[in-house]
Amino acid sequence: MLQNFTKKIGTVNSLKDFIGKPNNTKKDKTKKMRIKKALCLFKSYKGALETGKVTSVKDGVAKVNGLFGVCSGEMVLLGICKIKGMVLSLEHNSVSVVIFGNDTQLKQGDFVYRSFLIMNIPLSLQLFGRVIDALGNTIDGGKKIVSSISRKVDTKAIGIIPRQSVREPMQTGINAIDAITPVGCGQRELIIGDRQTGKTTIAIDTILNQKQNGHLYCIYVAVGQKKSTIAQIVTFFKKVQAMNNVIIVSATSSEPATLQFLAPYSGCAIGE
């Protein structure tokens, strides 16, 4: 078809003859006016730069093309189900999105939408005594918490110089620890040991001691534990009336690895 067309028009000079010279007739002027009017009324799709398409999904991470204006750490919505995700790496032609949900519901070609919000978690005093997930949603079957205040999950830690010095002790309630390795308020302390050696017991005893003899609020982040274990801890806290002093952030072993990754960040954001 193209060969026939080139044979018909021939050289460049014959192309001009084929198209013909523009006529300044009334009919041509009307056509020009219509074209100008159509161009003035043309509007591009506002969300063209704010949407992308999933190219691949693997191990809870989606590769997305598009999203040219997206920021690192921004929350996005994936697919028809609007599954939440967070942008982690910005590459030349694509972005990597961590999926906070069931990635089996996504397929290649699904649309991804920007939310224009950096990943954050809601903050409220009503969180005390509740069990929440890594995204700040209540999962204990109680009343939903609505908060107008939020904090970014991934924030830069305050430097050493602006911080207050460690000058006030934090009593764990265990005499051996308080006498030999005292812990101060604002100090980071790692509890390390093998399985079933009492690491969680030390943390729970410290929380109970704050209820009885201390003045600190506590945030318990459970990562990779069984749901039954977390349920037992919640029941125990309620039994000893210490639940109103605690926020429990739960990311159980049955939840996606991406939520388990986010849970410590959420706990630190609430604490800060």
| Domain range annotation of the chain | 2-37, 51-118, 121-271
In whole angstroms, what is the distance from residue 190 CA to residue 192 CA? Answer: 6
Residue with tokens 């049955």: 254
Contacts of 96 (CB under 8 A, 6+ apart): 61, 62, 63, 64, 87, 88, 89
At the topology level of CATH, where does 51-118 sit?
Answer: Elongation Factor Tu (Ef-tu); domain 3 (2.40.30)
What's the CA gap between 249 and 85, in Å, rounded? 19
Q: What is the DSSP letter of 153?
A: S
Q: Residue 139: its pLDDT value, please? A: 92
Task: State the CATH architecture for 121-271.
Answer: 3-Layer(aba) Sandwich (3.40)
Instruction: Catalogue the E-assigned strands of 79-208.
Output: 83-90, 94-99, 111-118, 120-123, 131-132, 149-152, 169-170, 183-184
- Residue 2: predicted pLDDT: 41
pLDDT value of position 85: 92
d(CA 200, CA 235): 15
Whether this model's pTM surpasses 0.85: no
What is the predicted pLDDT for the residue at 46? 54
Query: Quick check: 218 and 207 in contact, CB under 8 A?
Result: yes
> What are the tokens at 47?
């969300």
* Chain centroid to CA 110: 19
Find the radius of gyration of the CA atoms of the chain.
30
Per-position pLDDT tens, the chain of length 272: 444 444 444 444 444 444 445 555 666 778 778 887 777 765 555 555 678 999 999 888 999 998 888 888 899 999 998 999 999 889 888 999 999 988 888 989 999 999 888 989 999 999 999 999 999 999 988 888 888 888 998 888 788 888 888 888 888 889 988 888 888 888 888 899 998 898 989 999 999 998 888 788 999 999 999 999 999 999 999 999 999 999 999 999 989 888 999 999 999 999 88
| Distance (Å, whole) CA 241 – CA 235 | 10
> Can you list the positions of beta strands (E) in 171-233?
183-184, 218-223
Element housing 53 (H / E): strand 51-58
